[in-house]
Amino acid sequence: MPWVDHKVKKALRQKHKAYNRARKSDTPEDWETFRSLRKFVNRLTRSKHRKYIRDTCATSTKKFWTSIKSQKNDSFGIPTLKINGQLITDNIMKANALNNQFESVFTQEDYVLPNIDKQHCHQMPDVNITVEGVEKLLTELDPGKATGPDGVPARILKMGAKEIAPALTTIFRLSLESGNLPNDWRCANISPIFKKGDAPSLPTIDQFHSRLYAAR
């Protein structure tokens, strides 16, 4: 814990020594000394923690939320789902259950697109992808962002922008000229988060398995 500095560690050592002394002597005086030191350590730790949070909020929002997340007991990602009273912990089953839920509430508009006169459409100018432009975008990446499905950290792309830019420029140009995207570019890491309102009712276990096998 970053707020546990030298002063807190010293107080913790004193409390530990007082506890051992009290256990050994078992006198009211030594136990009272230990309890006093314990209260002092608790007050000191809370004070240091509050100061750390105040300083963190004033200097960096990212550090503040990192500190808040570190206090959470649950792990990152999709938590265990409860469907019809039964818990689902398998990642694939959780993903399919959520996908089925999203699919059940998805609506598709049934309308005909209007005809647009091509004469009123402005022609898009040619897109010119340059090595300099790609390098500039790489150097502007936020190294604090999470990695994508490729597992390549933004920090690596930023540090090697000059060396990576020519190869990426070639890939971008080929993709634009052919009208195709690499399959890896079609993937993304998505974590659904329930925010407000009534919790959605997920399908029962039997319904889930029947949909899963039907999809296969």
The domain ranges of the chain are 6-70, 81-106+115-215
3-class SS of residue 7: helix
Neighbour tally for 3: CB within 10 Å: 17
Beta bridge partners of 58: none
Q: What is the pLDDT of residue 130?
A: 94
Mean pLDDT for all residues in the chain:
79
Q: What's the Cα-to-Cα distance from 4 to each of 47, 122, 140, 159, rounded to whole Å?
A: 10, 63, 35, 33
Higher pLDDT, 164 or 113: 164
Q: What is the pLDDT of residue 70?
A: 63
* pLDDT tens figures, 119-129: 666 777 888 99
Given a cut of 90, whether residue 99 has pLDDT beyond it is no
Rounded CA-CA distance 142/157 in Å is 10
Q: What's the Cα-to-Cα distance from 59 to each of 2, 54, 216, rounded to whole Å?
A: 15, 9, 52
Would you say 83 and 205 are in contact if contact means Cβ atoms under 8 Å apart?
yes
Of 99, 173, 193, residue with least CA distance to 133: 173
**pTM for the full predicted model:** 0.41
Higher pLDDT, 94 or 13: 13
* pLDDT tens figures, 156-174: 999 999 999 999 999 999 9
Q: Residues 37-55: what's their mean pLDDT?
A: 86
Burial class, 48, CB count within 10 angstroms (exposed 0-12 / middle 13-18 / buried 19+): middle
